[in-house]
A and B are shown apart, each in its own frame.
Chain A
């Protein structure tokens, strides 16, 4: 089947710390992979994506590389800011159909 597993939160970091949020997936075929972010009081927003193996998605200083050999799509940022405090969701979309599969979300709090 298709599923996404991401690290449990909450995660609390000091400003300028390095961030990693782990995400692994199980999928049939070759899915596309996504990170969505939900800021307080807002809907989920696309943060970055990768559509094939070895692709690196990047946006706003965040990066994630599609690793087929380890079925992973870990989110990283070299230096977090207070404004990065949000809930981060890893997701996959099958290469056929419209259905997305999401992880449980990881809450990140960055303190000054």
Chain B
């Protein structure tokens, strides 16, 4: 069964360092997303990406964040200069479409846990 894969599963970094989280969405999907969950809090939307550009982003997704689809398979989230409060589980997701019989179904990866020290 096709799945979304994420790497690394866990990354520990020092405050101020750059971090890149990687995702391989399901191959025929067109919409890509990043969500995060700070421990004990809600899963929060960061950004959605379609047709090689950001289609929607939340207020969390400030200038420290960027996303890229560098080739036909990878979808990355970069945090330029990490802060302590960036420590969270980051989930990548993809979907085939926002309409049709599978309207809105997101397929999630297992998550990348980021710990900023």
A-to-B contact residues, CB < 8 Å: 4, 32, 34, 36, 41-46, 49, 51, 89, 91, 93, 97-105
Contacts and interface: CB of A to CB of B under 8 A. Distances in A.
Contacts of B107: 43, 46
Nearest to B111: A43
Question: Interface residues of B toward A: which range?
Answer: 20 to 34
A42 B43 CA distance: 15
B104 A34 contact: yes
A99 B104 contact: no
Interface of B: 3-4, 6, 31, 33, 35, 37, 40-45, 48, 50, 55-56, 58, 91, 93, 95, 98, 103-111
22 contacts: A32-B103, A34-B104, A36-B108, A43-B108, A43-B109, A43-B110, A44-B91, A44-B108, A49-B104, A51-B104, A89-B43, A91-B43, A93-B104, A97-B98, A98-B31, A98-B48, A98-B98, A99-B56, A99-B58, A102-B42, A104-B41, A104-B43
B102 to A, nearest CB: 9
Contacts of A49: 104-105
